[in-house]
Chains A and B, each alone.
Chain A
């Protein structure tokens, strides 16, 4: 009998074109996603006189540089930003690549669009020139981010040279409490293993608490694998996956669907398959989380207080904590629930899907954004926006004083100009709280959509469970 294999190994070996003696492997890319930040890769192709090898396997959508105030390209004020969106249109048109452009019913953040259109599927090897490509692993795909030289190589050959990463299984058993979401699970994981805890590894998330997550929750979880250093994060496909995928525009249909599901059922890691590293967490113990520093590893349960650098284990950490508290404008010992915010941002490829918006709207309903707080909701894609509007969520948000914007990356990274002012404190559902990530001097705290909405309506970080109890 064959040795038991992991989900990762099954996908890796199915996409192996060849392996050199030195271990370097040429992998075939089943699906390649592009966004408007990738113009350089096409410049490389042009310089070398190359063309895309398999345009039918490539899909594109603009997200980083689009305006969230309007849908027309001309509404993008900064000519550099407009040029990025226009270049994507020109490059994809020139090479016959399917693009969900501005105004297309499927446009959105690339990591929202892939799963939602059914382009991301179990067992596929997927890449995109973006570190949050790990998101698509939630469907049981092996998906990872690459740099622009690698993007150019994938365009030209539909393949990529890689060395096999190590494997890590993160098992979360137990039942997640009310208002404990995929976001809280991944923040708890990163707080435990550190921002480099999974460097060099492909992660598989397992255990009853993971199984219980909806597809949206799993997408959030896998999205932030890179924030733990992991190249990829995956969840084995199951009934939740198949129910999510069935009937999506690019999902197989009819007999093809049946055949695909039969194949996908073979994917989960075999009993007894070995992982290089194992991590376990108690799902029952996870609380709603909020970050306080400039790395996603600096996360605390909402009832926590800002740690004191004097208690740091070593001088390096002490110095780092001091720098972070200085940048974040926080004093040791301050309770998270005593920290006032200036802005709330509900959006990004981490938390802008329909379930995220429903959770935030449930908190916003019948409440008002606190005085002095600017609160934005930026749906992840056109389909999310349509669905939310069909459910009346936009009215709920507007009535509460939230701005209801157009789909794009927006304040997650601010490349389109949506940024916070220096010193402003943002309750953000995005994935990175780095120095300057949401604008020079901006102070980012990461948390779930319901927690961000709770912060928006109370003006400070708030335990959403208490708020909803009334």
Chain B
């Protein structure tokens, strides 16, 4: 997994609550293997007009936000389905961080296991950052994982909390497989105890 330390990039605001993973990547693209570049599926339908063609008003389509690599969204971002391809679509499009007042739990897990940092900030902080991004399209945000801070375009610094384990894995680019490999004895011993009560 790609490690995450500091990241400084243009941020795009998506000022809506409950943006679900069906929006991030519609279900009909879920049969594509990981090798396929998933950037092409990111907000595939949301960024298009019903009659076809790109919607020039969709934030990611606006020239100032095309270089965006950080998403700032409303509460409950990426709720719904467990599809990991929601993370792949963001990652393949260059996104490494999403900032919101809250996330769907499964997306949050999937993100930290794929080098995409989910940052939870209070709703007021997210609103303030969004207002700055709207006022100055193309503005940048700096994220510092070791320091656990987000620096808004106006220089305001917001601290954030993160699970120490997720932080460690992201900083080192570690995945769970390597970690668990050291515990095979413990798992086997557990199974011997557990198996007595749970016959198959």
The interface of chain A, by Cβ under 8 A from chain B, is 14-15, 17-18, 20, 22-24, 26, 28, 30, 37, 39-40, 43, 48, 50, 53-54, 56-57, 64-65, 80-81, 83-84, 124, 129-131, 145-150, 152-153, 156-159, 161, 163, 165, 195-196, 199-200, 226, 229, 231, 252, 256, 263, 294-295, 297, 316-317, 319-320, 323, 413-415, 422, 432, 434-437, 440-441
Contacts and interface: CB of A to CB of B under 8 A. Distances in A.
Nearest to A256: B199
A158 B187 contact: yes
A413 B27 contact: yes
A252 B199 contact: yes
A161 B112 CA distance: 12
Contacts of A263: 197
Interface in B40-54: 45-46, 50
Interface of B: 15-18, 20, 22-23, 26-28, 30-31, 33-34, 45-46, 50, 74-76, 79-84, 87, 102-106, 109-110, 113-114, 163-165, 168, 175-177, 179-180, 183-184, 186-187, 190-191, 194, 197-200
Given A131-B81, A147-B113, 7 more contacts: A18-B186, A30-B194, A152-B177, A199-B105, A432-B20, A434-B20, A436-B22
Contact of B82 (A14, A48, A145, A317): A145
Nearest to A54: B191
B23 A28 contact: no
Max chain A C-beta neighbours (<10 A), residue from B18, B34, B45: B18
B46 A435 contact: yes
B104 A320 contact: no
A415 B75 contact: no
A149 B23 contact: no
Contact of A316 (B17, B104, B200): B17
A156 B183 CA distance: 13
A323 B23 CA distance: 14
Max chain B C-beta neighbours (<10 A), residue from A65, A252, A440: A440
Nearest to B175: A149
A415 B27 contact: yes
Given A413-B27, A440-B26, A40 B190 contact: no
Nearest to A128: B82
A196 B79 contact: yes
A157 B180 contact: yes
Nearest to A163: B163
B27 A437 contact: yes
Contacts of B176: 149-150, 153, 161
A414 B187 contact: no
B195 to A, nearest CB: 10
B190 A17 contact: yes
Contacts of B34: 40, 43
What are the nearest 3 A-B pairs in CB distance?
A196-B76, A147-B110, A24-B165
Given A22-B165, A156-B177, A229-B105, A432 B80 contact: yes
B30 A436 contact: no
Nearest to B198: A30
A128 to B, nearest CB: 9
Contacts of B102: 196, 199
A81 B28 CA distance: 10
Given A157-B187, A159-B187, A161-B180, A20 B31 contact: no
